[in-house]
Amino acid sequence: MSFLLCKRGLQVDALANSVGANYKLSDGAMSRSILEAAGPSIQQELNSVKPRSPPRAGDIVVTQGHRLSASCVFHGVLKKWNNGQDDAEAVRVYRYTDIVHALLLVRI
C-alpha cells in the first residue's frame, strides 16, 4: 500500500480514514491528526452516526469535514494489524478499495 504525502493547504473534497471497531479517533496516528485538525465535533458526529450493531471490518461511516478543508470524511473499520498472522492486510487493502469506491459513488 502506498501513500502520497502533500504539503499543507491542499484542498480536497473528501478524506478516507481507517478506524478501529470502537470508532475512537484518538486511536491511531491518522485518526488523531484528523481529530486534532477537525476538532472534537467530528468525534461527536461519528458517535451519533455509527451503526448501533457491533462493527464489522468493512463498515464505512461518513461524517462532515468540520474544520477540515475536506467536505466529508469516510471512516472505514479495519481489522487490527497483528504482524501478518491472519488476513488483516488482505482485508485492509480490500476495504480501502471499498472506501475509494464509495468516494467515487457519492456525490460530494
Residue-wise pLDDT tens digits, 71-108: 999 898 876 666 666 655 555 555 566 666 665 665 54
Would residue 5 count as lying in a domain?
no
3-state secondary structure (DSSP) of residue 88: helix
Residue 82 grid cell: 497483528
Dihedral over Cα of 47, 48, 53, 58: its sign? negative
Would residue 3 count as lying in a domain?
no
Per-residue pLDDT, 102? 62
Per-residue pLDDT, 12? 79
Q: Please choose, from the candidates 64, 68, 65, 60, the residue with its C-alpha nearest in 3D space to the C-alpha of residue 102.
A: 60
d(CA 28, CA 7): 21
* 52 contacts 61 by C-beta, under 8 angstroms: no
Q: What is the CATH number of the domain that holds 25?
A: 3.40.220.10
* Residue 82 domain boundaries: 14-105
Residue-wise pLDDT tens digits, 33-72: 999 999 999 999 999 999 889 988 778 899 999 999 899 9
Total domains, the chain: 1
Query: What are the start-end ranges of the E strands in the chain?
Result: 14-19, 60-64, 72-77
d(CA 68, CA 105): 21
Would residue 18 count as lying in a domain?
yes
| Single pTM value for the model | 0.72
DSSP state of 17: E
